[in-house]
Amino acid sequence: MVFATAANIERPMRLSSSTRNWAWESLHGKYGDEAINNGFINLDNIENFEAMSDIEKYDIAIKTIAQQAPIRICQEEKICSSATLGGAIYHRIPAKYKEEPVFLSVSHLTIRYDKVLNQGLDSYKKDIAERLKDKSLSDKQKVFLNSLDNVIEAIRIWHSRYLKATENTRPDLHKLLLQVPFSQARNFHEALQSLWFIFSFVRLCGNWPGIGRLDWLLGDFLKKDLNSKELDISQARELLASFFIKGCEWIQSNTPQESGDAQHYQNIVLSGIDSEGKEITNEVTFLTLDIVEELSISDFPITVRLNKNSPLELKEKVAAVMRHGGGIVAVYNEDLILQALRNDGYSEKEACNFANDGCWEVQIPGKTDFIYIPFDGLQIFNEAIGLTKEADNNFSSIEEIYSAFYKRLKEEISNIYKYIILEPYIFKDNSWQSKKDVTPTSVISLFEDGCIKNARAYYDFGPEYLVRSPHIGGSPDIANSLYAIEKFVFLEKRISFEKLLECLRNNWEDNEELRLYIKNNSLFYGNDEDKVDKWHSRILNDFADIVENCKGEGDCPAKFIPGVSTFGRQIEWLPNRCATAFGYKKGDILSGNDSPTPGTDINGATSVIKSYCKTDLVRQSCGAALDIKIFPESLSGDNGIASLIALMDGFLKLGGFFMQLDAVDTKTLLDAQKNPHKYKTLSVRVSGWNARFVTLNREWQNMIIERNTQNIN
């Protein structure tokens, strides 16, 4: 039993053999296969179901799930409850009527957990009862609040089934459930059980929430138990390992090959400061990193909030985990992100509590209705220059070309703003609300601040913040294109612009020598070359300007913020893209997120970071992700740890936003393509998530392989 590693040292062994064996079973699909075999509950026998309103249908679906979903208790687990219905794996509420799923579910958010831990779920019931006393509530609002109460009662049904199942077989688990989640947790074990019970029920109902700041949620509980000797650190590690192993319950033994498994957005954020400005790094921080270092569990993508005062011990531990590969741990530049959130109008206290949405898009957990809108910036550029759409292409300078691109970009953002902000919402009855009836989301709405206060659902302007974010993709490719045109058309005059367009339309056919000359005689984005990096910075700064200037007086109070991502869409966009001005052919995989185009970054990881950080990334307040793949051999020993720390320190000092490092050997990935049975648990960082490499289809696998691998020593 060997847990995959990219390093030349084995992963540490700290956990008991029974815990490790259980992790191995879970990682190899034992429980995911069970879930697939129990896909959906059936609502066909519900009387008058078709005559019900949507929210009545939703309530009965959630109640029936709580009544009928299979109960599972594993011999090795230290906390209980499981999301046992496989329909939830596919982003559906796992309930069908006449063979059709009744509702979609919710993701791209982190719900609020701390209130349940510190006050208990019954505190929500009291809040709902108090809110229902308001005589000014509309009938619609009363129905919604009662639906929230119905969710609590469904959780009580689910909870009672576990109480009964554990009464004689697992008195240790039964004792936990007598207290939580309905009452406040009194110790670390109860807090862990309470957190897991709520998380797993929300998942059981088809939703994909993040966890958020795990060490902030649990740290004080553990510190108290350690100080009182109720637990020692080894016992605490075993308890927390249960949480992570149970989070692997949707892994299948033979996942269909697409964009990878482990995409259920159960993200964790560690470290950083609290709302009082105090560093929260604690024992839970290090135990979390211990567990993923040992078990190679990639189903909880972890991002560590680093700042200028982060403890060296923390960075050493992060580096130790990173060098095993799998892309399990990424880093935020906390100082920069806090400034970005202040600029967006959040209070200092709110900003300090930031987490993310399930990949890395920054949000305030438990208070945010978030949607991002991706678009292909390179396609907009190609349209602007007349490559893929009729346009005036009689350009006499690079500035004229850029102006044409800027104009099209502005049109695109304006259309997004209209579609996602202006059209869906209306000010009515003294409040902003959705113009149309929204899909019921009561399970999620219960755990989002603002929904009870406003008596409105998650998609009906219920939460405290409504955030919409256009995400530009392909900005490095646009920068490379502008630089190549500037250099080879207008400065060196090696080719006319009209001839270049002809070459691109014909995929460089009969012009291979020129293509290779352009491709091989320039330093493109990712090599610390100011001549091209200036274009990248200009594109993103202008993009931020356009987004910031969209809001008009009287518009709904949504936050409209910029971000940079592709999340692997460079594969989806391939069929509609053309050859590029910097020498790539149609069908070549281009840049991912804000990372260099594959094959162009030839000067090492430090140069990649320098190029990326020349942009004022504080303005990309939703996020801008940088992916770096590193040779495992360059991370050996103490020097490897020191090199990774230096890379992280440089990223912080230069003004990076979010960086995901993966130590992976291309030879290993190529062998995994040929012999997938040997690499069932080999994890890689994909884009904002991790996946077992063998669950990616060939296109996605090739995208990972084609990323340049850097040597940082």
pLDDT in tens, 539-565: 999 999 999 999 988 889 999 999 999
Which pLDDT score is estimated for 564? 97
Of the chain, the end-to-end C-alpha distance in Å amounts to 32
How many CB atoms within 10 Å of residue 168?
8
Q: For residues 266 and 107, what is the distance between their CA atoms, to the nearest angstrom?
A: 10
CA 112 to chain centre: 17
In this structure, are residues 524 and 532 in contact, taking their beta carbons and an 8 Å threshold?
Answer: yes
Gyration radius of the chain over CA positions: 26
Q: Where are the beta strands (DSSP E) in 11-115?
A: 41-42, 95-97, 100-101, 107-110
163 contacts: CB under 8 Å, gap ≥ 6: 174, 177, 178
Question: Shortest CA distance to 86 belongs to which of 111, 69, 61?
Answer: 69
Who's near 372: CB < 8 A, 6+ residues apart?
108, 357, 361, 468, 469, 470, 471, 563, 565, 622
Evaluated on CA atoms 52, 66, 111, 183, the torsion sign reads positive
Q: For residue 104, what are the contacts with CB-CB under 8 A and spacing of at least 6?
A: 91, 92, 93, 206, 439
Give the CA angle between residues 265, 266, 272 to the nearest 5°: 110
pLDDT value of residue 707: 60
Nearest alpha carbon to residue 544 among 611, 621, 654: 621
Task: Determine how many CB atoms are found less than 10 A away from the CB of residue 276.
Answer: 9
Backbone angles phi, psi at 626, to 5 degrees: -115, 125
Q: List the structure tokens of 454.
A: 């406003």
pLDDT beneath 70, residues of the chain: 256-263, 680-681, 685-690, 692, 707-713
pLDDT at 361: 94
What is the torsional sign of CA 432, 436, 442, 448? negative
Determine the pLDDT at residue 665: 75
Of 690, 659, 691, 648, whose CA–CA distance to 317 is shortest?
A: 648
- Whether the CB-CB separation of 533 and 541 falls below 8 Å is answered with no
Under 8 Å between Cβ of 310 and 271? yes
> For residue 205, what are the contacts with CB-CB under 8 A and spacing of at least 6?
62, 65, 88, 93, 94, 105, 443
Which uninterrupted H or E stretch holds 111?
none
What per-residue confidence (pLDDT) applies to 669? Answer: 78
Q: Could you tell me whether strands 563-564 and 559-560 are parallel, antiparallel, or unpaired per DSSP bridges?
A: unpaired
Question: d(Cα 8, Cα 49) in Å, to the nearest integer?
Answer: 59
What pLDDT, on the 0 to 100 scale, is given for residue 618?
99
- C-alpha 20/C-alpha 167 separation (Å) is 26
Distance, in Å, from the CA atom of 636 to the CA atom of 713, rounded to the nearest integer, reads 10
Please give the single-letter amino acid code of residue 522.
S
Distance CA 528, CA 175 (A): 59
508, amino acid identity: W
pLDDT at 712: 58
Pairing state of beta strands 658-663 and 329-333?
antiparallel
Tokens of 485: 């045109």
CA–CA distances in Å: residue 578 to residues 407, 569, 590: 21, 15, 11
CA distance 478 to 352: 34
Q: Are 27 and 681 in contact (CB under 8 A)?
A: yes
pLDDT of residue 666: 76
Task: Please name which of 392, 418, 413, 600 lies closest in space to residue 501, comparing C-alpha atoms.
Answer: 392
Distance separating alpha carbons of residues 87 and 72, to the nearest angstrom: 17
Burial class (CB in 10 A: 0-12, 13-18, 19+), 541: middle
Distance of CA 425 to the CA centre of its chain: 26
pLDDT at 487: 98
Can you state the percent helix, strand and coil of the chain, rounding each to 5?
50, 15, 40
Query: Which pTM was predicted?
Result: 0.94
Q: 383, 408 in Cβ contact below 8 A?
A: yes
Cα→Cα distances 648→304, 310, 645, Å? 11, 11, 5
Sign of the dihedral through C-alpha 41, 42, 48, 49 = positive
pLDDT in tens, 475-532: 999 999 999 999 999 999 999 999 999 999 999 999 999 999 999 999 999 999 999 9
Give a three-class secondary structure readout of 522-559.
CCCCCCCCHHHHHHHHHHHHHHHHHHHCCCCCCCCCCE
- Spatial distance between the Cα atoms of 393 and 230, rounded to a whole number of angstroms: 74
The domain locations on the chain are: 17-361, 368-621
Question: What distance in Å separates the CA atoms of residue 436 and residue 260, rounded to the nearest whole number?
Answer: 34
Q: Which helix (H) or strand (E) holds 163?
A: helix 139-166
Helix ranges restricted to H, 419-529: 442-445, 451-454, 475-485, 497-505, 512-520
Structure letter (DSSP) for residue 42:
E
Contact present, 94 and 206 (Cβ < 8 Å): yes
Question: DSSP characters for 231-247?
Answer: --HHHHHHHHHHHHHHT
Are the C-beta atoms of 459 and 551 separated by less than 8 Å? no
Q: Give phi and psi for 305, each to the nearest 5.
A: -80, 105
Tokens of 119: 């006050």
> What residues have CB less than 8 Å from 640, skipping those under 6 apart?
319, 323, 634, 713
Where does residue 309 rank: exposed (0-12), middle (13-18), buried (19+ CB within 10 A)? Answer: exposed
| d(C-alpha 417, C-alpha 575), whole Å | 26
Q: 120: alpha, beta or left, given left = phi > 0 and alpha = psi -120 to 50?
A: left
For the domain spanning 17-361, the CATH number is 3.20.70.20
